[in-house]
Amino acid sequence: MINFNVGPSKVYPAIKDFLQESYDKGILGLPHRSQEFMDMVKKTIFLLKQKLQIPPQYTIVFASSATECWEMIAQSLVTSKSYHILNGAFGEKWYQYTHYLHRKSEKYLFEINESLDTERIQTFFTFAERRSGKAELEDKALICFTQNETSNGTQVPIEVIRKVQENFPKQLIAVDATSSMAGIEFAWRSADIWYASVQKCFGLPAGLALMILSEKAIARIHEIGEHKHYNSLLKTCEQMQKFQTTHTPNVLGIYLLMRVMETSENIKEIDKKTQARAVSWYRFFEKNPYFRPLIHNEKVRSSTVIALQGKPEQIGTIKEKAKQAGFRLGNGYDKWKENTFRIANFPAISETEIQQLQDFFLKIEL
């Protein structure tokens, strides 16, 4: 079965060898306070910064999932107010979770085919502050973007995030990059908090996530000083200075991440391939007699999650026929559950496998 699901998705073929290697080397029973573990974490951090071009001053910490990152951010980086700019289910989930902990959090909804206008975002902030009786955005507010919305196959261009940062230099900007990190190139300094889980573009099994923090974010963590939870970022970052974690981590996941980073290309090369494949996929489905891209606005189409729209009865049929032919497609999600399916455009999927799936679509009759 070739896995085109949008997460968990196909893992790199070398994972099979890395798993055997981890067993043979005793990684599965490696104590997480041992020097061997700390050396492994140190190397993993070095490779992530090298291959993904992360600024050396940024701090990388581990979590169990992107969902846990919502909690860590809400606990340790929000004092009272966060603003969530969203157009889909995962951005909404992030907002809702933060809202449970901080009732003053607000959201700005935009349409899936809408190009984000920074002036409209500015207007949203202005009216939000007027409601709270303030003249301007408070310095400690957190501005949140879902850079790649997995539920509907849209993305916020990095340039938009950069412009918002330029307009609000005192505030922190947080980015959910779960379906795009390690698949496309980022301008890391355009935001202060980035996070992603590894079961998508990293080509790894689920159960591990990364959070990447700027110097400004680290300073805010220390300023807030939240330390009431086992996954408080204050404790987490302090432990990471020793290349340790606050709890028993996913040691195998970290080892696999290290080995994948050792063998992967630089993100600039991966980005070129991802973008070229995305163009190919969209062109392919613009000619398909049954399915069309859900997103019409090319400027906001995701490069890593291709969302296709069709008749509900044909959606069910194509997924079943694809499964019989050896392909696992991603289901639709949330309000698009019945009339869409999704295809992963992740680096671990080979050109040959993409061609095989496209040949399947060319031959199918519904």
3-class SS shares of the chain: helix, strand, coil, % to 5:
45, 15, 40
Q: Where are the domains of the chain?
A: 2-9+266-363, 15-263
> What tokens were used for 354?
């993409």
Q: Tell me how crowded residue 321 is: count the other CB atoms within 10 A of its CB.
A: 15
CB 199 within 8 A of CB 206: yes
Q: How far lies 210's CA from each of 32, 39, 104, 120, in Å?
A: 17, 18, 27, 31
Q: What residues does 92 pair with on adjacent strands? A: none
Nearest to 283, CA basis, from 208, 360, 358? 358
Please name the amino acid found at residue 82: S
> What tokens were used for 51?
């291959």
Query: For residue range 347-356, what is the model confidence (pLDDT) as tens digits?
Result: 999 999 999 9
Query: For residue range 56-71, what is the model confidence (pLDDT) as tens digits?
Result: 999 999 999 999 999 9
Nearest to 18, CA basis, from 287, 230, 223, 260? 260
Query: For residue range 83-119, what is the model confidence (pLDDT) as tens digits?
Result: 999 999 999 999 999 999 999 899 999 999 999 988 8
Q: Is 3 left (phi over 0), alpha (psi -120 to 50) or beta?
A: beta
CB 260 within 8 A of CB 43: no
- pLDDT exceeds cutoff 70 at 359: yes
User: How far is Cα 77 from Cα 191, in angstroms, rounded to an integer?
Assistant: 14
CATH of 15-263, one of 3.40.50.970, 3.40.50.300, 3.40.640.10, 3.40.50.10260: 3.40.640.10
User: How far is Cα 153 from Cα 112, in angstroms, rounded to an integer?
Assistant: 9
User: How far is Cα 296 from Cα 276, in angstroms, rounded to an integer?
Assistant: 18
Q: How far lies 86's CA from each of 107, 110, 210, 276, in Å?
A: 7, 6, 21, 26
What is the structure's pLDDT at 126? 79
- Give the confidence band of 259 by pLDDT, cuts at 50, 70, 90: very high
What is the structure's pLDDT at 139? 79
Chain-wide mean pLDDT for the chain? 95
Query: For residue range 152-175, what is the model confidence (pLDDT) as tens digits?
Result: 999 999 999 999 999 999 999 999
> What tokens were used for 45?
């951090």
Between strands 340-344 and 305-309, the pairing is: antiparallel
Between strands 327-328 and 2-3, the pairing is: parallel
- Give the confidence band of 136 by pLDDT, cuts at 50, 70, 90: low
The H or E element spanning position 330 is strand 330-331
Q: Which of 99-103, 138-142, 266-270, 329-333 has the lowest mean pLDDT?
A: 138-142
Query: For residue range 314-327, what is the model confidence (pLDDT) as tens digits?
Result: 999 999 999 999 99
SS (H, E, C) 6-69: CCCCCCCCCHHHHHHHHHHCCHHHCCCCCHHHHHHHHHHHHHHHHHHCCCCCCEEEEECCHHHH
- pLDDT exceeds cutoff 70 at 8: yes
- Asked: is 2-9+266-363 a CATH 3.90.1150.10 domain? The reply is yes
Task: Give every CB contact of residue 70 below 8 A, 6+ residues apart in sequence.
Answer: 93, 94, 97, 98
CB 330 within 8 A of CB 307: no
The average pLDDT across 16-34 equals 97
Q: How far lies 306's CA from each of 136, 187, 285, 363, in Å?
A: 38, 23, 10, 20
Query: For residue range 278-293, what is the model confidence (pLDDT) as tens digits?
Result: 999 999 999 999 999 9
* pTM for the whole structure: 0.96
- pLDDT exceeds cutoff 80 at 132: no
Percent of the chain past pLDDT 90, that is, above it, reads 91
